[in-house]
Structure 1
Amino acid sequence: MSDLGDLRRLALSLPGAHEVTYKGNPWFNVGKKTFALALDGRAILKLDRGHQELLFEIRPETFSKCPVATVYWSYVELAHLDEDELTDLVLEAWSQIVPKKVSRPVLEAAAMSKD
């Protein structure tokens, strides 16, 4: 079971990540781009479109659509995730907004640590 503290710790462990507060809620950014935020006990993550659509379909109790402009982000019920799954999702969200040259070595290191 994960919570906001886990989200914060994982997000801030990534290169370039920092926390800002917007309307009293924590947002996790790299530069001015947001990859995760917390709102009303849930996380909102910027996930890969194909992956989030799959998650909406197979785990609707945990993942749901969050409309942002003309795209969807993912509402995520933190309490439904274990730490490994949250780690993977935060890493995915972060990798959506940073350059590939930044994300590639971090993603490779994460994959190697699982083997």
Structure 2
Amino acid sequence: MVTVEDVRRLAATFPRSSEHLIRDRVKFRVGSIVYLAFSRDETLMGFAFPKEERAALVAAEPAKFEMPRESDLRYNWVVARLAALGQDEMSELVVEAWRMVVPKKVYAAYTARIR
């Protein structure tokens, strides 16, 4: 099972990423763009994800993923149940969410550094 602390450790390694507590919810941003957000009870993680791919993701694994609430459907966003995620899958989702909001050169420098 993945925890907010697991995600926090990973997100802390990303250039330009910062953690914020907004209305009792942990969120991670790059500048003013939120790429990760947790439910107040820290059981759900919303994350940046391409709109055109999210229906397929949710349909493929409905026990793990869900569509965002109606007010968030306009955003590139989907929600995962933390208890259903493994560490490797969480890492992939979080890195890809962060990648969506940083300049390509920042992501390229990060991946070059970790290889």
Work out whether 1:86 is the aligned partner of 2:86.
no
Change (3 A) 1:81 1:105: same
Deviation at 1:12, TM superposition (A): 1.9
TM-score by length of 1: 0.84
- State the partner residue of 1:36: 36
- One-letter amino acid of the counterpart of residue 57, structure 1: A
Residue pair 2:50, 2:76 contacting (<8 A) in 1 also = no
| Structure with greater proportional strand content | 1
Work out whether 1:53 is the aligned partner of 2:58.
no
Deviation at 1:74, TM superposition (A): 1.0
Residue pair 2:37, 2:45 contacting (<8 A) in 1 also = yes
| RMSD of Structure 2 on Structure 1 (CA) | 1.9
- State the partner residue of 1:19: 19
Give unpaired runs (5+ residues) of structure 1. Answer: none
| SS state at 1:84 partner | helix
- One-letter amino acid of the counterpart of residue 77, structure 1: R
Change (3 A) 1:63 1:108: farther
Q: Identity of aligned pairs, percent?
A: 28
Give unpaired runs (5+ residues) of structure 2. Answer: none
List, as ranges, runs of 4+ consecutive aligned residues in structure 1 with deviation greater than 4 Å. Answer: 107-110
